[in-house]
Amino acid sequence: MSWGQAGQMDLHGSLLRVWPRPPLPGSPAAGGPDRVGVLHRLLSGNFIPACTAMCRREALLKVGGFVQPQGMPAADYPTWLRLVQLGNVVPAEGVLGFWRRHPSQVTQVMEREMLAVPRFNWASWVAADLSPADRVQLGLTAQEAARIDTARRARTDFADGRLALRRNRRDDAARHFRDAMHGVRGVAKAKALVALISTRLGLNVDHLLQVRNRVRRSRRT
């Protein structure tokens, strides 16, 4: 399978951003084709814009066509997770497609359903379909899959907490930050704890994180 960057447009056709940021997983700048590395990176979140993806017909047929687990509103992401098990998923350079944000798109009118996508246990779902030999080859034992799923839910809860702060819903933010501490250790847990305490104290931790991210981006450029 091949894919590339995509441009996100507003209602009037103006470019909002190009996503994802380089280096693209599997590209020469990221170390070249690496099926194991790309799979584990993909299990952390979908970085493949559907409007740019192309795959071999025989590969798609081999995984049973487009895959959509029961209760999931999306078919692209689970299909990528199946295809990467067959062979290399390699990006092409440049912007290969565009998509437009508007009030009637699925991600807006089915917001509640779409929220289930990042919270699904994707790593465990992939691991359950692998043979014991493939689990070893792909580094995805049941224990490792559970760890990946827990870490991903923690990141999702942390992101939802920041979104709640922007909407001035501090109680919801505190709940998400508290949930983000479950099952994780080290920096992830400490970051969620600081965010929870700051929220309870009425501090704008989201603003501080935005400033930090801007500083990091400016250093990279």
Q: Which two tokens stand for residue 49?
A: 């814009």
pLDDT at residue 112 in the model: 62
Helices 35-43 and 76-83 sit at what angle, rounded to 10 degrees? 150
94-113 core/surface letters (b: 16 or more CB in 10 A; e: else):
eebeebeeeeeeeeeeeeee
Pairing mode, strands 15-19 and 90-100: unpaired
pLDDT at residue 147 in the model: 95
Task: Note the pTM of the prediction, 2 decimals.
Answer: 0.84
pLDDT at residue 211 in the model: 73
Q: How many CB atoms lie within 10 A of CB 174?
A: 19
pLDDT at residue 214 in the model: 73
pLDDT at residue 41 in the model: 94
pLDDT at residue 146 in the model: 95
- H helix or E strand, kind and range, residue 205: helix 205-220
Q: How many CB atoms lie within 10 A of CB 6?
A: 21
pLDDT in tens, the chain (221 residues): 999 999 999 988 899 999 999 999 999 999 888 999 999 999 999 999 999 999 999 999 999 999 999 888 889 999 999 999 999 999 998 999 999 887 776 665 555 666 678 889 999 999 999 999 999 999 999 999 999 999 999 999 999 999 898 889 999 999 999 999 998 999 999 999 999 999 999 887 777 777 767 777 677 65
pLDDT at residue 108 in the model: 59
- 3-state helix, strand and coil shares in percent for the chain, rounded to the nearest 5: 50, 10, 35
Task: Give the residue from 147, 144, 145 showing the smallest Cα distance to 122.
Answer: 145
